[in-house]
Structure 1
Amino acid sequence: MDNRLTDLSHPAVAAQSRNKTAIAGTCTMNTVLAAAYIAEVLKGVRSLPSYLIFLLLCLLPCVTSILAYTKQKDTSSVRYLCGGGFALLYAYVMFISSTDLTFCYVIVMLLILLVYADKKLVSLLCTYALVINILVLVFRAVTQGFTAAQITNAEIIIACIILSYIFVLMSVTKIAQINDANIKKADSDRSQSDDLLQLTLKVAGDMAGNIDQVSHSTSQLRDSIAGTQTAMEDLTSGTSETAAAIQVQQQQTENIDQQVQNVSSVTAELLSSTAETSANLTASKDVMKNLVQQVQVSEASSTRVADSMEELKEYADKMQSIVALISSVASQTSLLALNASIEAARAGEAGRGFAVVAEEISSLAGQTNGATGDINQLIEHISQSISSVTDSVTELFDSNRHQSEYITSAAGYFDLIEKNTASITSGMSELKQGVDAVSDSNSQIIQSIENVSALTQEVTASAGATLAGCRTNLQSVDDIALIMQQLQENANELQKNTQ
């Protein structure tokens, strides 16, 4: 038999079981009621037509729910067919019954429907029963009237229905909570079981894969140990050659150390010379700065001399203008003296004195013209000298300007030389540090070579022991291979059992 058909944890199977229980309870209750009411017919208390209606209402929920169950066993309509059919039967019984105890049928139905743990269905049924009982009580009060005992019974009926509803609702709620908790726990347990199963399968698969890898690695390790054994044998035979080569290397390293010491000494001397050159360059740079300042002063003086010579030239030009004016005045004076002499000659004896004055004026005019010519010659010589001096000053100014440019360029070159010297000094310092570091490293190499030589001797001594260890490891690897094979068989068996 398929276990899935009886597994109540499955929702469909659980729904089928609830429907089956509800149908069985409804059919049982209606069968008991039909048997009880047929006894009343036999006693003559109830008429046959009334009983036939009652029997039909008893059969209606049973037949409809069985048909629905037969069509679909897990359908949700069974609960409503049972509850709805009982509602019709309950209403009919409440209105035709002559006793107040008929209300208790709803309590039986509540117990039957409790299997669904459906709060909505329970609430509808209890509300319906309460309304029907209130209507019956009102109907009896209107038609028959109420005694004190009937009022007490009515209170008890209403209270009983309300309390039944409350406690059934509490039970349904608690059952639903318990069911939800159980479902969650079942889901959690199922998930954990699935996870554990998957983990077991994964671990088994990983174990099988790892065992394969370990087996492969063990095989490789065995080959490697065999190769190591061969290498140890070769190492034993080649250790003596290595020791001899190390001795040769030690001698060569000592020679290199001597050369490094020589390079360090030369580097120190070069560093000292470079420092002295840097100091001389600094002094030369100061001299060039002073020379540039002197050239600038000379340029300023030349500029002032050139300006003064221009002024002298202007003054000479003005003197020539003045001399030309004096010469013009002397010519006019001479002409006036000539006219005066002519007029004195015309005057005769009376103009003799005036003639003497005119002659003197003419003589002074002649002297003035002569002096003016001499002054003109002197001014021309002065102008020529000024022009020559101006040209010389201009040439000197140009020469000073070119000298200033050359000196400025030389100062720039000195700056570059100073920077390059500083770079050379820095490089020489780094070179000296590097040479010192090489010297230290070479010393360490010599020490290391000595250590290697000692270690080589130790390796030669332990090579035999390594060979013996390789043989032992080979035997251990064979044992491990057998164990790995057994583990692989166990892992495969575990995979088969968990699938």
Structure 2
Amino acid sequence: MKSIQTKLTVTILIIFLIAMSVLGGLNYWKARTIVTGEITSSMEKLAENSALSIGDWLDKGIFHLEGIAKAPAVQSGNLEEMAPFFVQVKKNMVKFATIGYVAQNGQAIDAKGFRLNFGSKTWFQEAMQGKASVSDPVLSPSGDLEIVLAVPIKVEGKINGVLFGAISIADINQKVLEIKAGETGYGFMVQENGLLIVHQNKEMAMKINVLESKEASSAIKATYERMVKGEKGLAQYDDKGIATTVAYAPVPRTGWSLVVKVPTAEVSKEVASLTVISLVTIIVVLVLAGLLIAWYARSMTKPLRELEMAANRIADGDISNITLDSNADDEIGRLSHSFEQMAGNLRDLIQKISGATEQVAASSQELTASSEQSAQAASQIATSITNVASGASEQLAAANDTTAIVEQISAGIQQIAANANQVAAHSAQAAEKAKDGDKAVEKAVNQMGQIEETVNASSQVVSKLGERSKEIGQIVDTISGIAGQTNLLALNAAIEAARAGEQGRGFAVVAEEVRKLAEQSQEAAKKIAELIGEIQEDTDRAVVAMDNGTREVKTGAEVVNTAGAAFREIAGLVTGVSGQVKEISAAMQQMASGSQHIVDSVKRIDDLGKKSAGEAQGVSAAAEEQLASMEEIASSSQALAKLAEDLQVAVSKFQV
């Protein structure tokens, strides 16, 4: 059971099966109790009504005898008059086999004229005590089984004898054997001593005494003991291996008990049919419930299957057209809506990253090209500054020579003139070099300006990339927050499902699966955040490098501008020197008197030459540092281009 649909269906079916089984068991037990109670109650009523019916039948016989006992022929006590009277009565009352009179001494005469002595009979003794009596079955003189009904004959309030009427037991047999219960149940009658009076098995009637039988079990004997005591009730026992249910009731005016006997299997037959109906009902309900539950589980898990497919597509890098068809206003519906929004945001994020990486790649290429050009320009500046330094050194040497010449002025005007001409030639050369240096510095200044513009543009692009990376980080934080909230909702759903107990287990499984999806989404957002963090760190380093490059370029530009100013000053000084040398050549006579001025001028030239040489060396060092900075910028831009390329490869895995 790997799918939630199967788990949900099976779980609900098991719960439904348990509920239906418990309900069916309770219904079966209740129905069994009711049906068994009705059947046994009907058996008890049948036994009681049948006993009362026989009692009524006996009461009618006693009532007839009591009417006959009031006849004058009977009241007279004359046996000669009674015999023909009894014959006439018997003709009108065929239920009696015979009718007779018993005197106080026990002598009796019946309608047939037989004279017998019944003084020892129980029924006679009870009648002489003033109450009607019914005897147990006895053999008549003719050999038939009969029961005797006896009533006292009262004359003026005194008992003058007993009137009796004999009834064939066949009449009672017919009434008892007509009793039917169920399909095979029947009735029988027991005498007060345990003897079977009436039974459908004629071989048992008047022959089997249950209380004295060795074959009867203790349960059977205990039941018969209650019967002979005149009790009524219901009992169950095994009769020769067959479970039997009996209902019994006493017969009025007698010590007999009428019994209705039914196999217990027949009593349980109705219950068995109810069992079959209950089982069929449970099976039908389970089948219908299974179909309904399967349909419900399928419709309930359909959004989850769509979520799974969408998550697999995103895992494979395909985030194009992620749409989920879920209009449910529940946790799953809201999860589907949030997942669809997350996919859309992720698609927009990937598109922005892709565009930004393209811009970064292009800008890094432009920055690399500009830094290479700046490096070349810086190299040229360094070369030019070296030449300037060389020219300054030559100028310094010329100034030293001039000083020596001035010190040797006293040696001869001619030598001074020659040296002055040489100084003029060197001064003209120095002027040309100074002009060339000025042009080179101007060109270096222009190149520095271009480098500064390029570096500023690159810095702006990298800064913009950093801002985009921060926006991406915020979006990833939003995604992570949604995933966390989803995880929390799933945890709350699992807690509620656990509180619901067994009914909430299917939903608990569904909540656990939702929580796993949220954790996977949160993990993916975490990985994206780590990647964006690395991009932001690289971007920050690029921004720092750009800022350092910008500062170095500005410093280089200031140094170059200073060098340009120095070159212009040198050019002016060299021009002045050239003019002074010409004046020396034109006015040789005046040199003698102004030699001290010449010495002073030459010293100033010497100081300026030293200063120019130092500044030229500083400019050369700055140019070399600028060259190194440009190489570092080129290296950083190449690394940035490589990083942008790697990011493009990572983003290209997603289809938007």
TM-score by length of 1: 0.32
TM-score by length of 2: 0.25
RCO comparison, higher one (Cα < 8 Å, 6+): 1
Per residue, is there more helix in 1 or in 2? 1
Per residue, is there more strand in 1 or in 2? 2
